[in-house]
Amino acid sequence: MRSARFGSLATLGQDGHPAATLTSLATDSDGTPLILVSALSVHTGNLIADPRASLLIAPGGKGDPLAHARITLKLRARRIARETEEGLRIRRRFLARQPKAALYADFGDFSFFALGIEAASLNGGFGKAYELGPADILSESTQAQALAEIEEGAVAHMNADHAEALRLYARVLLGARDGAWRATGLDPDGLDLALGDAVLRLGFPASVDGPASLRKILAELAAKARQHLPQIHRA
Q: Tell me the CATH number at 222.
A: 3.20.180.10
Q: What's the chain's average pLDDT?
A: 93
Strand ranges for 26-163 from DSSP E: 26-27, 33-38, 52-57, 70-79, 110-123, 129-132
Q: What is the pLDDT of residue 11?
A: 98
Same domain as 59, residue 150:
no
Q: How many structural domains comprise the chain? A: 2
Same domain as 102, residue 78:
yes
Tens-digit pLDDT profile for residues 129-149: 899 999 999 999 999 999 999
pLDDT > 70 in the chain, percent: 97
Q: Per-residue pLDDT for 152 more than 80?
A: yes
Mean pLDDT for 143-168 is: 96
Mean pLDDT for 152-177 is: 96
Same domain as 114, residue 149:
no
How many whole angstroms from its chain centre is CA 208? Answer: 17
Mean pLDDT for 57-69 is: 78
For residues 133 and 212, what is the distance between their CA atoms, to the nearest angstrom? 30
Same domain as 27, residue 130:
yes
Same domain as 133, residue 193:
no
Nearest in space to 179 (alpha carbons), one of 191, 163, 160, 192? 163
Contacts of 232 (CB under 8 A, 6+ apart): 171, 172
Same domain as 147, residue 129:
no
Contact 129, 120 (CB under 8 A): no
Same domain as 163, residue 131:
no
Among the candidates 88, 107, 138, a domain finishes at: 138
Same domain as 125, residue 111:
yes
Q: Per-residue pLDDT for 115 more than 60?
A: yes
Same domain as 198, residue 167:
yes
Same domain as 191, residue 118:
no
Q: Per-residue pLDDT for 67 more than 90?
A: no
For residues 63 and 34, what is the distance between their CA atoms, to the nearest angstrom? 29
Same domain as 118, residue 19:
yes
Tens-digit pLDDT profile for residues 89-109: 999 999 999 999 999 999 999
Among the candidates 84, 104, 138, a domain finishes at: 138
Tens-digit pLDDT profile for residues 6-33: 999 999 998 999 999 999 999 999 999 9
Contact 116, 32 (CB under 8 A): yes
Q: Which helix (H) or strand (E) holds 202?
A: strand 198-203
Tens-digit pLDDT profile for residues 213-228: 999 999 999 999 999 8
Max Cα-Cα span within the chain = 62
Where in the sequence is the domain holding 222, given as residue range(s)?
A: 140-235
Among the candidates 138, 163, 193, a domain finishes at: 138
Res. 233 pLDDT band, cuts 50 70 90: low
Q: What is the pLDDT of residue 229?
A: 77
Contact 9, 18 (CB under 8 A): no
Is 147 strand, coil or helix?
helix
What CATH number has the domain bearing residue 120?
2.30.110.10
